[in-house]
Structure 1
Amino acid sequence: MFIFDAHLDLAMNAMEWNRDLRWSVAQIRESEHGMTDKPDRGKNTVSFDAMRKGNIGLCVATQIARYVKPENNLPGWNSPQQAWAQTQGQLAWYKSMEEDGLLRQITNKAQLNTHLENWENNKENTPIGYILSLEGADSIVNLDYLEKSFEQGLRAVGPAHYGPGTYAFGTDSIGGIGIKGKELLKKIQSLNIILDATHLCDQSFWETMKVYEGPIWASHNNCRKFVNHNRQFSDEQLLELIDRKAVIGMALDAWMMVPNWQRGKSTPEQKGVTLEHMVQNIDHICQLAGNSFHVGIGTDLDGGFGKEQSPMDLDTIADLQHIPQLLANRGYGSDDISNIMNRNFINFLRHTWA
């Protein structure tokens, strides 16, 4: 089945992990043998080859660079200008992969429809399609930079990532959106950029909902019902997104899938983490909505973690192909499964870009 993955940090892996995604997953793992600078060395799950084997022909691919003020202990850049430069390096990598015939940027409805038709008719010779998204808006020095990014093809923005940000507060922090955040939201809406609600802390989330009226999705965000942490959405938040015709992508980071995960200590085998936990989250959103129109796949695979923090029945991203059968086992029909695996996000884009 064709798969749309709504969140992959491809450029981050290329530019910060120094992974050549043109290699196979096995080749990347071998190249990292013995490296200890990051906990996921030698445990990656994503490459272009693996995406093709899994029929993942379309994804949302990120730019990401955090600006941190002196009192912020999170890793990041010391100025928004440095963060901007990092995102520009990531964009240069995407463009290089386009020139190499491996990726194709999708920015409008006509390009989307053409890509899907080409992939269906001649998959072997069609580059993987990607929609450019910015995870955390700290690199937007001022709103002129957002216009520059839009001209470069940026089509989705998450105002915050982890901690306090320039425009909103993210995971593991508390605070609202303020004047700058409201100005950013107004500009996002005027440009018809998709707002990604992922990572917004509760206060910033609800303040955003009061002032923002444009297109909104959550690219990679699971359910608080199963893991009671601010990184997940409560049922109240999920219902708000459903009412706004959003689509919520389910992520595969193990700590977001089972409670009481201890980073660096817990293992998927210990905790019994499998793709069934993703399906559990999918089903919960379908039950809340009363239909299958508001949930999709947003794996976040290789988003700073690898097999050490992924479902134990997933070796590479190609194993997403097991999900349709798991959904069928729960009684989901073919139309519902297609909605979840690709159609919901595709229809969202067609409507937003109409």
Structure 2
Amino acid sequence: MFIFDAHLDLAMNALEWNRDLRLPVSELREREQGMTDKPDRGKNTVSLQAMRQGNIGLCVATQIARFVEKDSPLPGWHSQHQAWAQTQGQLAWYKTMENAGEMVQIKNIEDLESHIKLWTSNEPQKAIGYILSLEGADSIVDIGYLEKSYESGLRAIGPAHYGPGIYAHGTDSVGGIGQKGKDLLKKVEELNIILDATHLCDKSFWETMDVYNGAVWASHNNCRKLVDHNRQFSDEQIKELIHREAVIGVALDAWMMVPNWIRGKSTPEGMNVTLEIAVDNIDHICQLAGNTDHVGIGTDLDGAFGKEQSPLDLDTIADLQKIPNLLLKRGYNNSDVEKIMNLNFINFLRKVWS
């Protein structure tokens, strides 16, 4: 089945992890044996080749660069201008992959429809389509920079990531959006950029919903009902997103899938983290919605973790192909499964871009 993955940090991995994502996952792991600078060295699950093997022909791919204040415990850049420069380096990587025939940027309805047609054809070497998204808006030095980003193909934006941000408060922080956040949201709505509600803390989430009337999705977010942490959405937040005709991508980061995960100590085997838990999250959103129209896949499988923090029955991203059968066993029909694996996000884009 064709798969749409609503959240991958491809450029971050290519540049900050120095991974040549054109290579097989096995070769990337071999190259990283003995390296200890990142916890996921030698355990990565994502490459462009693995995506093709799993028929994951379309994704939301990020730019990401956080600004941090002096003495912040979070990693990040020491000025917004440095953060901007980092995102532009990531953009350059995507453009380089386009020049190499590996990827193609999807910016409008015409791009989308022609790309879907390509992936249903028998073409042997297909470029992977990507919709450019900015995870955390700290690198937007001022509103003019958002306009520049839109011209470069930016089509989705999350105002915050972890901690306090310039425009909103994110995971593990508490606070609202302020005037800067409101100004950003106004321009996002004006440009018809999709707002990504992922990572907004509760206060920023609800303040955003009060002032923003444009298109919104959540690229990679699970259910607080199953793991009680501020990173997940409460049922009330999920219902608000459903009311706004959003789609929520279920993530595969193990600490978001089971309670009491301890980073660096817990293991997928020890905590019995499997793809069935992803289906639990999918099912919970479907039950709240009363239909299968508001949930998809947003794996985050390359979000600074690898097999040490992924479902134990997933070796590479190609194993997303196991999810359709798990859904069928739960009683979902073929039409439902296709919506969850690709059509909900595709139809969302068709509506927003039409």
Q: TM-score range by the shorter chain?
A: over 0.9
AA aligned to 2:335 is D
Matched residue, 1:230 = 230
AA aligned to 1:251 is A
Between the aligned partners of 1:349 and 1:86, the Cα distance in structure 2 is 27
Map 1:158-307 onto structure 2 (within 5 A). Answer: 158-307=158-307
Q: Which moved more, 1:126-135 or 1:71-80?
A: 71-80
- Counting matched residue pairs gives 354
Between the aligned partners of 2:121 and 2:12, the Cα distance in structure 1 is 31
Map 1:305-324 onto structure 2 (within 5 A). Answer: 305-324=305-324
Tell me by how many angstroms 1:302 deviates. 1.4
Q: Which moved more, 1:54-63 or 1:66-75?
A: 66-75
Tell me by how many angstroms 1:72 deviates. 2.1
Gaps of 5+ in 2: none
3-state secondary structure, aligned to 2:120: helix
- Pairing 1:343–2:343 present: yes
Between the aligned partners of 1:120 and 1:13, the Cα distance in structure 2 is 28
3-state secondary structure, aligned to 1:38: coil
Between the aligned partners of 2:46 and 2:99, the Cα distance in structure 1 is 20
Matched residue, 1:81 = 81
Between the aligned partners of 1:306 and 1:135, the Cα distance in structure 2 is 19
Map 1:104-123 onto structure 2 (within 5 A). Answer: 104-123=104-123
Between the aligned partners of 2:342 and 2:136, the Cα distance in structure 1 is 25
For residues 280-329 of structure 1, what are the alpha-carbon distances to aligned partners after superposition, in whole Å with 9 as ceiling and x for unaligned? 00000000000000000000001010000000000000000000000000
Between the aligned partners of 1:41 and 1:71, the Cα distance in structure 2 is 27
Tell me by how many angstroms 1:123 deviates. 4.2
Tell me by how many angstroms 1:124 deviates. 2.1
Between the aligned partners of 1:109 and 1:176, the Cα distance in structure 2 is 34
Matched residue, 1:153 = 153
Between the aligned partners of 1:39 and 1:15, the Cα distance in structure 2 is 16
AA aligned to 1:315 is D
Between the aligned partners of 1:337 and 1:123, the Cα distance in structure 2 is 25
3-state secondary structure, aligned to 2:124: helix
Tell me by how many angstroms 1:230 deviates. 0.1
Q: Which moved more, 1:152-161 or 1:116-125?
A: 116-125
CA RMSD of superposed structures (Å)? 0.5
Map 1:40-59 onto structure 2 (within 5 A). Answer: 40-59=40-59
Between the aligned partners of 2:40 and 2:302, the Cα distance in structure 1 is 8
Tell me by how many angstroms 1:69 deviates. 1.1
Structure 1 moving runs of 4+ over 3 Å: none
Tell me by how many angstroms 1:180 deviates. 0.0
Between the aligned partners of 2:137 and 2:39, the Cα distance in structure 1 is 26
3-state secondary structure, aligned to 1:240: helix
Between the aligned partners of 1:123 and 1:44, the Cα distance in structure 2 is 28
Task: Tell me the percent identity.
Answer: 74
AA aligned to 1:229 is H
TM-score by length of 2: 0.99
Between the aligned partners of 1:122 and 1:266, the Cα distance in structure 2 is 43
- Pairing 1:326–2:326 present: yes
Between the aligned partners of 1:37 and 1:75, the Cα distance in structure 2 is 14
Between the aligned partners of 1:8 and 1:124, the Cα distance in structure 2 is 23
Between the aligned partners of 1:110 and 1:293, the Cα distance in structure 2 is 23
